[in-house]
Amino acid sequence: MAEIDVENEEKMTFGLAAGALYVFFGILQALASTGLVDIPLVPGNAIGVLVLVVIGAVFLFGYRELKEGIPEGIAYIHVGIGLSLVFGIIYLLVMGADAISAYLIRSEDFEDWSIIDDVRPELYLALLSLIGLVKWRDEFSLKGITISGV
Amino acid sequence: MGAKNHITVALAGNPNAGKTSLFNAITGSRQHVGNWPGVTVEKKVGKYTHKGIEIEVVDLPGTYSLTAYSIDEIVARDYIVEERPDVVVHIVDASNLERNLYLTTQLMELGTRVVIALNMVDIAEKRGDVIDIEKMAGFLEIPVVRTIANIGYGVTTLMDEVVKEAQKPEHHEHEIGYGKEIEKALVKLESIIKRDTHLVGIYPLRWIAVKLIEDDENIKERIEFSPVREEIEEFLAEIDTIDFEARMADKRYEAINAVLPQVLKKGEVGMTTSDMIDRVLTNKYLGIPIFLILMWGAFELTFTFATPFMDIIDLVFGHLSGWANENIEPAWLGSLIGDGIFGGVGFVLIFLPNIFILFLMLSFLEDSGYMARAAFIMDKLMYNLGLHGKSFIPLLMGFGCNIPAIMATRTIEDEKDRLITILVNPFISCGARLPVYLLLAGAFFGGQAATVIFFIYIFGIVVAVGSAKLFRSTILPGKPAPFIMELPPYRLPTLRTTVIHMWERGSMYLRKAGTIIFVFAIVIWSLSAFNGDGYIEETEKDIDEGELLVGDGAFEGKGRFTVLEDGEGTFTGTVLETVELKSGTYEKDRYYEGIELMEEEELHGDGTFEGECEFLSDEDGGRYIGEDFTVEESFAADIGHGFGPITSPLGFTWKMNTALVFGFVAKEVVVGSLGVLYGVGEDEDRVSDSMEDDKDFSPLVAFCLMLFTLLYLPCLATVPVIYKETGSVKWTGFSVGYGLVLAWLLAFVVYQVGSLMGY
Amino acid sequence: MAPVMPLQMAPEGKELRVTSINAGRGLTRRLIEMGFNERALVKVLNSHGRGALIVQLNDARFAISRGMAMKIMVDVA
Ligand SMILES: Nc1nc2c(ncn2[C@@H]2O[C@H](COP(=O)(O)OP(=O)(O)OP(=O)(O)O)[C@@H](O)[C@H]2O)c(=O)[nH]1
Ligand SMILES: [Mg+2]
C-alpha cells in the first residue's frame, strides 16, 4: 500500500502544479483577450480562456481529493492529462494546417503568418501532460475500457 | 415435418447488447451501430444463406421486455409477438447477465424457439467472469452460443444452432412456476380463454393468461371482441392483479437468481475505469464546462484544421471552371460545364473536408459512450427548458443530419416530450448547412469566421431550446416526464470503426453531390442562362425603362453607365449631370465625343456607350447590342425577383432568394446555387471573390443569410420524416411555417438593427 | 431497520436496497424489467444535488432523473 501512496502523492503534486499553471495561463489569456495588453505566446481568445480554466480546474479537483485522502481523485489527474493532450493535439493539427496554408497554398490570409502565431498555451502546456503520460503510461493502458472493433 | 429451407430469424435483446453488430456480422450489411441504447429504432431486414437454407434476418430495436412503452419498443414487441419469426436469437449481454435474462424468461413464456447469443463475452472474460455456457443452456433448455458481435466471432456456430432449432416444434415446457395461488388463477383463466378458439390459435394459452394478469394493453385489445371477454373481466376483478404481477416478477428474478450463481463466476468487482472517468466527466461542477470545451475542440478541428484542404479543392475547381468556360465550344456547353457543373457541384465539394471531420467527431461521440453522458449532464438544464432528458441525444445527432435525429426521438416514451423534440430538431444546424456558413463567413468575416460560425451554431441551439420553452408555455403545456436511461460503458473507439462510421455518413454527402445537387446545379444553371428569348449570349435587344443590364458591348439610349471593376469603355453623347472624373470634369448638357471611362467610373448620359459596364436605362429605355454578362434577365432572376418584396426587408437580393428557394431541396443547394449564380458570366476564378464584389452583399447581409438558412425550412427530405414521426399534417405544417416565420423575423430584426447601427 | 427513503435522497457511494416503487403500474413494471425489483442492490455513484443521478445496479449504470428517483424507495443494505 505504501507504494501506492507515494504514487498518489506524486499525482497530487502534479495536479497542483498543472492546475495552477493552466489557471495562471487562463488568466493571462483573459488579459490578452481584452486587447489591452500584448503577451508573447499567449494570443487572445475568449473561448481559449474557458478551455484553460476548465482543464486547470480538473487538475485542481484531483489535487483536492487526493489531499483529502480520496484515492479516486487520481481519476481527475488522468482525465486532466487526457483533456490537456487532446487540446495539445488539436492545436498541433491547426498549426500544421496553417503552415500548409502559408507555405504550400500561399493563401493571401496567411501572408504574414509565422509559426509563432500559432503557439498557444494549450500547445505548450500539453508538454507537461506528456510527461505525466509517459511517467504513468501503464495506468493509461485503458484497462477495463474495452476496445470495440478490431 | 420436412426440413424448412426458408426461415425468418429475429434478433432481439436489451438495448446496446450488440444486436445490430451481430446483424451486420451475419448479413454483411452496414447498419448503424453506436455505443448507446436506442441506436436502432426501426426493424431492418437482411438476407443470409446458411448451408443452403435461406435465412431472413431481422434486426430489431432494443427492448427490456415484451411490454412496449415507446415506439421503438412497439416495433420490437410486435414483430416478436405478432409476426412470430421462426427463431428468435436473443442477444444477451454477458457483462450484464441478470437483467438480460429477464427478457429470456418472457421469451420462454411466449414459447418461441429461442437461441441465445451470449455476446460481449470478451468484456466479461477480460474482467475475470467465467460463464459456463453448457450449464446455462441446460438450465434454460435453450442453446447458448458465445459471440463477439463486433468482430463476427461465433456467427457460424450461432447460425448452425439457429437452423437446428428452426426444425424443432415450438415448445412451452420450460416455464416458471409462480406459486400455488397464482398458478390456480392461471389455470382458471386458461380454462376460460380456451373457449375462444380464435385466440388459442394465435398465442400460447398460458402466455395470454399471464399477460391478462399483467394488464397488458395489447392483449386487452385482443379480447375486446372475444365471446369470453366478460367472463375474463369478471375473473380479473376478483383477484388482486397488481399484487399478482409483482409476485410474478419476483418469481422470475428468483428463477434467474437460482440459475445465475451456478452458471456465472464473477471476477473482481470494484470501481471500473468507466466509473472513474464518470467521476470527472459527470462531475456536478465540471460536467457542463468539459462538455462545452470538447464541443469547441471539435469545432476548431472541423473549421480551422480543414481550411487548407478546402482551399486546395476550391482552387482546383476554380481552374477547371475557368478552363471549361474558355475552351469548350459551343459557349453554352462551356458555361454549362464550367459554371453549372464545376461551379455548382464543385462548389459543394469544396466543403468535403469539413463534412468529413464533422462526422468523424460525431462518430467518436457516439462510439465512445460519451453521448449518453452528455444527456445526463444536461438533464437539469433540459428539464428547466421543458425538454426531456432523452431529448438531448436526438439534438446532438441533429448536428449530423436531422433525419436520423428525428427518428431517434422514438425512444422517448411521452408523446408530448417527443413531439417537442421533433419540432425543435430542425433548428439544430445539420452538416448540410455547414457549407453555407463556411462560404459566407469565409468570404465576409475573414479572421473572425470561426467565431461567427460557432455563434451561428450556438444560435441554433438557443432557438431550439427557446422554442421548446415557448411550446411548453403555450401549445404543449406540462412538464417533461421523468426518465431513466442506461449508460453504456466507455469504450475506446478504434480508428477503423470510427473511420468506417465517418465514411458511411460522409459518403452520403458525396452521393448527394453526385445526384441531387448535380441535377439542381444544372437546373439552376439553365434557369440562369436562359430567358424567354433563349440562351443569353450575343444579343440585340431593347431595354425598357428602369431596367438594369450588365454586359460587354454597345448601348444606345439614356441612362446611367457604371463601368465594371477591371473594365473600361468610351461614351459619346450628351452628359446629363456634371461629373468629375479622373480624366477631367464633364459639364451637364454638353456633347462629348469619346469620353474614356475607367473602372468603376459612373456617368449619366444620353448617347452611346461601348465597353464593359452596368447599364441602367432611364425613362426612355434604350437599345443594346453585345454580350450579356448578366443573369439579371434570366428565369432565375424572375424567380428571385418574385420573392423580392418579402425578402428585401432582410437585405436579400434576388440571387439569394433564388438560392434559398432551391435550398429547400437540400441546404447544400444554397451553396451550389450561389456558386452558379455568382459564377455565370464572371471572370473571377473564385466565386467567393465575385460575391465580395457584389455591393449589395455586405457582411451584415451575409450574416442574415446564414441565420435565415439556419432556421427557414427543414429540408425536403426531412419534411416527410416529420410527417411520418408525428403522424400529423397539422404538426408538419406547423413545423414548416414556424421555421419560416421565425427565420424571417429574426433576420429582419438583425438586418434592421444592424443597418441602423451602420453595418 | 434502516429508514426507507427515496433514491433521490440516498447518500452517494452506499450499498442500498430497493424496498418498493411508488409509481403507476406501467412505470413500476418498467423499472422492474430494468432490474429495479424489490431487494435489488443499487448504489448512487453520482448525485447532482437537485438534478439527475447515476445509479449502479449490478453491472449496469443508469441515469435517472430526479422525478424518477423520487419514486424508487430504498434503505441502506
Ligand atoms: N467489446 C465488444 N463490443 C461489442 C460487442 N458487440 C457489440 N459491441 C459494441 O457495443 C455497442 C452497441 O452495439 P450495437 O450493435 O449498436 O447494439 P444494439 O443492440 O444494436 O443497440 P440498440 O440498437 O441501441 O438497441 C457498439 O459500440 C458495438 O461496437 C462485443 O461482442 N464485444
Ligand atoms: Mg441496434
Q: Rounded CA gap, B214 and B205, in Å? A: 14
Nearest to B375 among C25, C63, C67 (CB): C63
Q: What is the mean pLDDT of chain B?
A: 87
Contact C32 B249 (CB under 8 A): yes
Q: Is the pLDDT of residue B228 over 50?
A: yes
CATH classification at residue B75: 3.40.50.300
Q: Rounded CA gap, B146 and B583, in Å? A: 90
SS3 state at B515: coil
- Give exposure, B68-87, as e/b (b: 16+ Cβ within 10 Å): bbbbbbbbbbebbbeebbbb
Could you tell me the residue ranges of all domains in chain A? 6-133
Task: Please report, for residues B26, B40, B373, B448, the alpha-carbon distance to residue B45 in angstroms, rounded to integers and kept in the order given.
Answer: 11, 12, 31, 48
Of all residues in chain C, the one with the smallest CA distance to B94 is C59
- Of all protein residues, whose CA lies closest to atom 29 belonging to ligand 1? A148
B620, B637: one domain: no
Q: How many CB atoms are located within 10 Å of the residue C2 CB? A: 11
Give the pLDDT confidence score for residue B201 in this predicted structure: 78
Give the atom of ligand 1 at the shortest distance from the alpha carbon of A149: 29
Joined grid coordinates for residue B666: 437540400
Residue B24: nearest ligand to its CA?
Answer: 1
B141, B207: one domain: no
Query: pLDDT digits over B418-439, tens only?
Result: 999 999 999 999 988 999 999 8
Give the pLDDT confidence score for residue B525 in this predicted structure: 81
Chain B residues lying within 8 Å of C12, measured CB to CB: none
Query: pLDDT digits over B375-423, tens only?
Result: 899 888 888 888 998 999 999 999 998 999 999 999 999 999 999 999 9
B361, B471: one domain: yes
In which band, very low, low, confident or very high, does the pLDDT at A145 lie, cut at 50, 70 and 90? very low
CA B1 vs. chain centroid, Å, equals 48
Query: pLDDT digits over B319-352, tens only?
Result: 888 888 788 877 788 878 887 888 778 878 888 9
B297, B387: one domain: yes
- Would B279 be classed as within a structural domain? no
- Give exposure, B90-120, as e/b (b: 16+ Cβ within 10 Å): bbbbbbbbbbbbbbbbbbbbbbbbbbbbbbb
B623, B639: one domain: no
What is the DSSP code (8-state) at residue C53?
A: E
B585, B641: one domain: no
Q: A39, A28 in Cβ contact below 8 A?
A: yes
Q: Rounded CA gap, B555 and B625, in Å? A: 7
B17, B96: one domain: yes
Q: B207, B81 in Cβ contact below 8 A?
A: no
Of all residues in chain C, the one with the smallest CA distance to B103 is C33
Q: Which residues pair with B569 in a beta bridge?
A: B597, B611
Contact B484 C34 (CB under 8 A): yes
Give, for ligand 1, the residue of B150, B492, B499 to mutate: max count of ligand atoms closer than 8 Å to Cβ.
B150
Which class for B332: exposed (0-12), middle (13-18), buried (19 or more C-beta within 10 A)?
middle
Q: Is the pLDDT of residue A148 over 50?
A: no
Q: Rounded CA gap, B194 and B211, in Å? A: 15
**Average pLDDT rounded to a whole number, residues B312-316:** 86
Q: Is the pLDDT of residue B630 over 70?
A: no
* Residues with Cβ within 8 Å of residue B38, at least 6 apart in sequence: B15, B61, B62, B72, B390, B393, B408, B410, B411
Nearest to B215 among C25, C32, C46 (CB): C25
CA B119 vs. chain centroid, Å, equals 30
Give the pLDDT confidence score for residue B532 in this predicted structure: 64
- CATH top class, domain C5-76: mainly beta
If we measure between CA atoms, which residue out of B614, B759, B632 comes closest to residue B698?
Answer: B759
Domain housing B92: 6-167
What is the DSSP code (8-state) at residue B239?
A: S
Q: Which residues pair with B114 in a beta bridge?
A: B88
Residue A123 touches partner B, C-beta closer than 8 Å: no
Residue B253 touches partner C, C-beta closer than 8 Å: yes
Q: B245, B213 in Cβ contact below 8 A?
A: yes
pLDDT 10s per residue in chain C (77 long)?
578 999 988 988 899 999 999 988 889 999 999 999 988 999 999 887 677 899 999 889 999 998 899 999 999 97
Give, for ligand 1, the residue of B14, B20, B21 to mutate: max count of ligand atoms closer than 8 Å to Cβ.
B21
Residue A6 touches partner B, C-beta closer than 8 Å: no
Q: Rounded CA gap, B63 and B72, in Å? A: 8
Q: How many CB atoms are located within 10 Å of the residue B3 CB? A: 9
Joined grid coordinates for residue B560: 446611367
Chain B residues lying within 8 Å of C63, measured CB to CB: 372-373, 375-376, 379, 389, 483-487
- Residue linked to cell 505566446: A41
Q: Rounded CA gap, A71 and A66, in Å? A: 6
- Would B281 be classed as within a structural domain? no
Give the pLDDT confidence score for residue B589 in this predicted structure: 87
Joined grid coordinates for residue B309: 484542404
Nearest to A72 among B122, B276, B296 (CB): B276
Contact B482 C45 (CB under 8 A): no
Task: Give me the amino acid identity at B377.
Answer: I
In this structure, of B325-329, B563-567, B621-625, C65-69, the range with the lowest mean pLDDT score is: B563-567
Sign of the dihedral through C-alpha B698, B702, B705, B707: negative
Residues in chain C, overall count: 77
**Average pLDDT rounded to a whole number, residues B480-490:** 91
Contact A54 B279 (CB under 8 A): no
The ipTM is 0.95
Q: Rounded CA gap, B184 and B759, in Å? A: 82
- Would B296 be classed as within a structural domain? yes
Q: Which residues pair with B625 in a beta bridge?
A: B540, B554
B454, B353: one domain: yes
Tell me the count of B-C CB pairs closer than 8 A.
Answer: 111
B336, B453: one domain: yes
If we measure between CA atoms, which residue out of B382, B169, B133, B88 comes closest to residue B263?
Answer: B133
If we measure between CA atoms, which residue out of B74, B52, B55 comes closest to residue B63?
Answer: B74
Q: Cite the beta strand spans of B143-219 per DSSP E.
A: 144-146
CA B19–ligand 2 middle distance (angstroms): 5
Give percent of chain B above pLDDT 90.
41
Q: How many CB atoms are located within 10 Å of the residue B329 CB? A: 7
Query: pLDDT digits over B292-306, tens only?
Result: 999 999 988 888 888
Instruction: Render B605-649 in DSSP notation, one character per residue.
Output: EEEEEEEEEEEEEEEEEEEEEEEE---TTSHHHHHHHHTHHHHGG
**Average pLDDT rounded to a whole number, residues B587-593:** 88
Contact B280 A150 (CB under 8 A): no
- Residue linked to cell 486547470: A56
Q: Is the pLDDT of residue A149 over 70?
A: no
CA distance A149 to chain B (A): 6
CA distance A94 to chain B (A): 5
Q: B672, B348 in Cβ contact below 8 A?
A: yes
Tell me the count of A-B CB pairs closer than 8 A.
Answer: 121
CA B280–ligand 2 middle distance (angstroms): 28
Q: Rounded CA gap, B142 and B175, in Å? A: 12
- Within 13 Å and on the Cβ side, how many CA atoms surround B397? 24
**Average pLDDT rounded to a whole number, residues B57-75:** 93
- Give exposure, B661-697, as e/b (b: 16+ Cβ within 10 Å): bbbbbbbbbbbbbbbbbbbbbbebebbbebbbeeeeb
B32, B121: one domain: yes
**Average pLDDT rounded to a whole number, residues B469-493:** 91
Contact B306 A51 (CB under 8 A): no
Mutation test of the interface with chain C: which of B285, B376, B378, B381, choosing the one with the most C Cβ atoms within 10 A? B376
Using H for helix, E for strand and C for coil, what is the string for chain A? CHHHHHHHHHHHHHHHHHHHHHHHHHHHHHHHHCCCCCCCCCCCCHHHHHHHHHHHHHHHHHHHHHHCCCHHHHHHHHHHHHHHHHHHHHHHHHHHHHHHHHHHHCCHHHCCCCHHHHCCHHHHHHHHHHHHHHHCHHHHCCCCCEEECC
B38, B122: one domain: yes
Joined grid coordinates for residue B498: 470510427
In which band, very low, low, confident or very high, does the pLDDT at A3 lie, cut at 50, 70 and 90? very low
Sign of the dihedral through C-alpha B278, B281, B285, B291: negative
Q: Which residues pair with B262 in a beta bridge?
A: none
Q: Rounded CA gap, B37 and B34, in Å? A: 8
The total of structural domains in chain B comes to: 5
- Would B32 be classed as within a structural domain? yes
Q: How many CB atoms are located within 10 Å of the residue B520 CB? A: 23
Give the pLDDT confidence score for residue A94 in this predicted structure: 92
CA B10–ligand 1 middle distance (angstroms): 16
- Of all protein residues, whose CA lies closest to atom 13 belonging to ligand 1? B18
SS3 state at C51: coil
Q: Rounded CA gap, B339 and B346, in Å? A: 10
Q: Rounded CA gap, B118 and B129, in Å? A: 13
Q: Is the pLDDT of residue B536 over 70?
A: no
Which subunits sit against B, judged by 3+ Cβ pairs under 8 A? A, C
Joined grid coordinates for residue A87: 487540446
CA B498–ligand 1 middle distance (angstroms): 14
Of all residues in chain B, the one with the smallest CA distance to A59 is B280
Give the pLDDT confidence score for residue A147 in this predicted structure: 39
Joined grid coordinates for residue A23: 489557471
Could you tell me the residue ranges of all domains in chain C? 5-76
- Compare B351 and B624 and report the one with higher pLDDT: B351
Q: Which residues pair with B530 in a beta bridge?
A: B535
Chain B residues lying within 8 Å of A94, measured CB to CB: 300-301, 304-305
Chain A residues lying within 8 Å of B281, measured CB to CB: 79
Contact A93 B497 (CB under 8 A): no
Name every protein residue with a CB atom under 6 angstroms from any ligand 1 atom.
A 146, 148; B 15-21, 33-35, 37-40, 61-62, 119-120, 122-123, 148-150, 367, 491
